[in-house]
Amino acid sequence: ALKRRVKELEKGHKVYPKVPILNYKDRKRILITGGAGFVGSHLVDKLMKQGHEVTVVDNFFTGRKKNVEHWIGHENFELIHADIVNPLFIEVDQIYHLASPASPPNYMYNPVKTLKTNTIGTINMLGLAKRCRARILLASTSEVYGDPEVHPQKESYWGHVNPIGPRSCYDEGKRAAESLCYAYKKQENIEIRVARIFNTFGPRMHMNDGRVVSNFILQALQDSPITIYGKGDQTRSFQYVSDLVDGLVALMNSDYDLPVNIGNPDEYTIKEFASEILKRVGGKSEIINKEAVTDDPSRRKPDISLAKLHLHWQPRVKVMDGVNKTIEYFREELRHSNMLP
């Protein structure tokens, strides 16, 4: 980003990353809802670099203009500040539907809005897909499995979700969104794709996002205590963002229209993960235990056989290589804001 800025100043005009010119029949008009967020902005980069026309719709609840600013002004790119709970009329060929708060503190902040975004917002995007005869991919989540009784989780597992707990606005919101997709497929013949995304991390996660990877890295970089919620025996399996984005594009362009897990099966206890991060960052943080959170799933790991079979996809980035890149990203962010100790 810095190198590009220097080049821009030298040339006196904005310098964009290289974009191929696709011929008319290969070039798609692609909408990304939530495209100014963490995952969405990496997806924007990939699709722009393939030469498509990309439109982002975002209400900037957790997303930032900064995540896509390097494309603003490019003739293939458009950024619309709008809320998908309101109808949206544009012309598109494909929709990647990612708009939804994703981290527990964010989705619990306004649970009613989380539900509206995932239900009314998803209906609007399905209505748009129906009118344009566009294909739509829903960014669903491993949270549809709740606190799972089977391990690892296969797509055929129906889940174990508390319908009235603090996480339900998100879990049940996404379950309703999946249900809406299959209802529109059955009734209106809409082409749908459903990705059940497992914990993903990487650069451009929001500093105050509150998810475990960004929390631990920022705490370690600032010499503050690393906060484990509960005993830290709960497990998660972490995927680097570039693998997720490759998986989403592979799914969108495949013929498979049932839900597919996209995640990295490399599983860690939160305790182990905390010490791995501390070891990599160095620094003087101590690791402390805080109160456990309500309904926190005790273990989570994807079975990715379906993705391998139907998408010929599997994660390529080793989790700790991804962690190192993410540490470097946050170190730069903190240095930039004068927040390093």
Pick what 296 binds: ligand UDP, ligand NAD, none; C-beta below 5 to 8 Å, kind-dependent: ligand UDP
Q: What is the CA radius of gyration of the chain?
A: 20
Q: Are 91 and 98 in contact (CB under 8 A)?
A: no
121 in contact with ligand NAD (CB under 6 A): yes
Pick what 98 binds: ligand NAD, ligand UDP, none; C-beta below 5 to 8 Å, kind-dependent: ligand NAD
What's the rounded Cα separation, in Å, for the pair 271 and 326?
Answer: 19
Pick what 117 binds: ligand NAD, ligand UDP, none; C-beta below 5 to 8 Å, kind-dependent: ligand NAD
Clarify whether 240 is annotated catalytic: no
Stretch that binds ligand NAD, among 92-100, 264-272, 290-298, 303-311 (CB under 6 A): 92-100
CB-nearer residue toward ligand UDP: 15 or 108: 108
Q: What six digits make up the tokens of 181?
A: 């997709």
194 in contact with ligand NAD (CB under 6 A): no
CB-nearer residue toward ligand UDP: 77 or 145: 145
Interacting residue with ligand UDP among 28, 42, 113, 236 (CB under 6 A) = 236
Q: Are 78 and 51 in contact (CB under 8 A)?
A: no
119 in contact with ligand NAD (CB under 6 A): no
246 in contact with ligand NAD (CB under 6 A): no
Interacting residue with ligand NAD among 59, 94, 168, 234 (CB under 6 A) = 59
Q: How far is the CB of 239 from ligand UDP (least distance, A)?
A: 12
174 in contact with ligand UDP (CB under 6 A): no
3-state secondary structure of 121: helix
Q: Are 203 and 158 in contact (CB under 8 A)?
A: no
Instruction: Tell me 65's DSSP state.
Output: G
Reduce the secondary structure of 149-186 to three states and give it as a string.
CCCCECCCCCCECCCCCCCHHHHHHHHHHHHHHHHHHH
Q: Tell which positions 212-231 bind ligand UDP, by CB under 6 A.
A: 212, 215, 227-229
What's the rounded Cα separation, in Å, for the pair 14 and 36?
Answer: 20
Pick what 236 binds: ligand NAD, ligand UDP, none; C-beta below 5 to 8 Å, kind-dependent: ligand UDP
- CB-CB neighbours of 146 under 10 Å: 24
What's the rounded Cα separation, in Å, for the pair 85 and 286?
Answer: 43
3-state secondary structure of 195: strand
Pick what 228 binds: ligand NAD, ligand UDP, none; C-beta below 5 to 8 Å, kind-dependent: ligand UDP
What's the rounded Cα separation, in Å, for the pair 55 and 80?
Answer: 7
Where does this chain bind ligand NAD (CB under 6 A)?
33-34, 36-40, 57-63, 83-85, 98-102, 117, 121, 139, 141, 197, 199-200
Question: Which residues form the catalytic set?
Answer: 170
